[in-house]
Amino acid sequence: MTYFDFVISREDEANFPHFSNVAEARAYFQKRYGDLYNLGSRERQFEGYWGGYIYFDDVDGQPVQIGEDGSVHVVY
């Protein structure tokens, strides 16, 4: 836990494995965080780093953004 009681710390995020796609990333989060992990909605991104869809999931209320290419960003 961090000062703000986030489930995922910056150190955790830095040590996530490399994911090849969104399905692989989601499977990792479901296995690691169990019932705390919640699937969310997706939004089409036409330009920028992410491209394709961005998936807006969360771990116990902490936002986790996953790109179709498996890129992960945790919001603090």
Question: In whole angstroms, what is the distance from residue 17 CA to residue 44 CA?
Answer: 25
The pLDDT value recorded for residue 21 is 95
The pLDDT value recorded for residue 1 is 43
**Residues 17-64: tens digit of each pLDDT:** 999 999 999 999 999 999 999 999 999 887 666 568 999 999 999 999
Q: What is the pTM of this model?
A: 0.86
Can you give the residue ranges of every domain in the chain?
19-74
The pLDDT value recorded for residue 2 is 44
